Chains A and B, each alone.
Chain A
Amino acid sequence: MISQELNDKITRVGSGTPAGNLLRHYWQPAALVEELHASLPVAVNLLGERLALFRNDLGHWVLTARKTRSDEPIVYYPNADQIQILDDRPIYPAVEKNGVIFAYLNDSDPPDFPNFDCFRADESHVFAFKGLWECNWLQALEIGIDPAHASFLHRFLSDENAEDHYGKQFRDKVIQTNIPITHVLREYHCPEIDVEETNYGLKITALRHMNNGTTHVRITNQIFPEAICIPLSQEMTITQWHVPIDDENCYWYAMFTSFGEPINKQLMHAQRLKEHELPTYAPKKNRLNNYGYDPLEQKTQTYTGMGMDINVHDQWAVEGMGAIQDRTREHLGRSDKAIIRYRRILRKAIKALEMGDRTALPMHNNDQIKSIVGPLSNDTIALTDDWSGVSHRADLKRRAACSWDASIL
């Protein structure tokens, strides 16, 4: 449990708020490149600000404030000719990275981008998409650094055919075995969790010790301040930001990155368009239709009764907490170890900014930032008494065989 005052401090993102100020010191996903096929400018609602994205005279992407109607919905995509740019406001820089436009909503010099796989992979090996969740960004992030929830929230009461897993989370088999990950998650629901602070955020190791003397090792990451990097399948990872639209709404922006074959983007896109409305990228299953909840399915097939798409499960979990989770009533347990650790880093960074020391922020030292690589993110099986090092070796092997330069030495 935390105080209401602290909850406000770490969740609210408007201009001048402590967490808002922190997020304004990091590049924020602002739009998908696929949204820019329409004429410019394009409306962008980000960190409580109503902005417009366009190219300046030099051809560079920039954002600045636009005129806003008082009755404008918070998720709003007017036509270009309805957008009126305000010409007396700060102009923020934006850059394109593998299908995503990132913006820096601050007058200060932006930091460099770290050398993460999603940024350095060839364009053919990265697919980007986004989706709307109607809740505060922090609860959206926190579900992503909670390795235990996958054993419950995403539990399938039986295992789907792993041949049909392309582009879907948790459906692959564990590397070098015939065991579906859904099986491991279901049968071993109390992972040992290890959290390690890194130069990009947190490395989170979830160990599921199985009854045959082996251990399932899943490595996921928190990338400061608001992203995660997790395995999708044996060949793909997801790097996903939880970007505030305002205090009570956010978008997830995901960059799917392949270490193997070029991504079948058409298939990945079609899978996701089936579940989302354009131009808002709002999920078709949502609060208004009870997330497709079916009590019979909950009894016989899935833990939630909300279908097989794990994004819907996560969306239900975080939206059901309320617009901003009331953390004065929460009871964190040992399974929430990474969340507790993350909030400590967040508070420390907020404090550093309050003291005017931006050099103390993670990934703000441009001399070192290009040497930040990876992060390692995979599922492996190891002998229970010798699991350490197995993830690392599997990672090196995958990188060595990769068609783009994925080296980390």
Chain B
Amino acid sequence: MSGEKSVTLQKSPTLSEIIINNELPWVQLIESQLLDIPRPVMPLVLNGKRLVLFRNDGGMLGLIGRNCPHRGADLCYGRLEDNGLRCPFHGWHFNYIGQCLEQPAEPKGSQMYKAIKIPTIPVAERAGIVWAHWKERYGFDEAVNTAT
């Protein structure tokens, strides 16, 4: 793992995507104030992992995989509501650590949501900077999903 660091801000095909390559245990992502926008949801690629960074209603930050675990829809267009991010395809709802909490199109009483979790990277805010705990990333399949 190289400690080399590069940050690119670019207008990408999907919204304004931030691309960061830095394999240190803690990686500096962005200034917190970049999220002081009406809809704080941002596509971000960290070391090849396609992610979404968002702030929930309670102020917590989430950094989770970009594709919905259901059928792969792009969560950077998700609905920021009910203290989490909701997939516009079937309304699956996720909290800031990527745990699925609702699958409104599944039959009443279905417990399937409990087993659905999006890969996630812990984040912390210090002195106006958002940091990702890259070393503690959870749930990523290291063999796939690294293409941008």
Contact = CB atoms under 8 A, between A and B. Distances in A.
A326 B67 contact: yes
B135 interface: no
Interface string A301-332: 00111100000010011001110011011111
Given A191-B105, A293-B15, 19 more contacts: A148-B105, A149-B90, A189-B91, A189-B105, A190-B107, A295-B38, A306-B77, A316-B74, A317-B73, A320-B73, A321-B67, A321-B72, A330-B70, A330-B71, A330-B72, A331-B69, A331-B116, A333-B106, A335-B106
Contacts of A306: 77
Given A293-B15, A295-B38, A303-B79, A331 B105 contact: no
A299 B71 CA distance: 23
B91 A321 contact: no
A89 interface: no
A326 B79 contact: no
B71 A290 contact: no
15 contacts: A142-B71, A153-B88, A190-B106, A190-B108, A291-B77, A293-B15, A296-B38, A303-B88, A317-B73, A317-B89, A326-B144, A328-B144, A329-B141, A333-B110, A334-B110
Interface in B28-86: 38-39, 67, 69-74, 77, 79
A322 B14 CA distance: 12
A329 B88 contact: no
Contacts of B106: 190, 333-335
A152 interface: yes
Interface in A126-162: 139, 142, 148-149, 151-153
Contacts of B79: 298, 303
Contacts of A317: 73, 88-89
Interface in A186-224: 189-191
Interface string B86-114: 00111100000000000111111010100
Contact of B72 (A288, A305, A320): A320
Interface residues of B, number: 30
Nearest to B13: A287
Given A153-B90, A288-B13, A326-B145, A333 B103 contact: yes
B112 A333 contact: yes
Interface size bucket, A side? 35 or more
A184 to B, nearest CB: 15
A293 B105 contact: no
B69 A329 contact: yes
Given A326-B67, A326-B72, A330-B71, A320 B104 contact: no
B69 to A, nearest CB: 5
B105 A320 contact: no
A293 B91 contact: no
Contacts of A330: 69-72
A178 to B, nearest CB: 26
A304 B77 CA distance: 7
Contacts of B14: 287, 290
Interface in A147-184: 148-149, 151-153
B137 to A, nearest CB: 16
Contacts of A287: 13-14
Given A290-B15, A333-B103, A152 B74 contact: no
A245 B106 CA distance: 34
B105 A151 contact: yes
B75 to A, nearest CB: 9
A282 to B, nearest CB: 14
Contacts of A334: 106-107, 110, 112
Contacts of B72: 139, 320-322, 325-326, 329-330
A334 to B, nearest CB: 6
Nearest to B90: A152
A56 B1 CA distance: 62
Contact of B88 (A304, A322, A325, A333): A304
B71 to A, nearest CB: 5
A255 to B, nearest CB: 26
B7 to A, nearest CB: 22
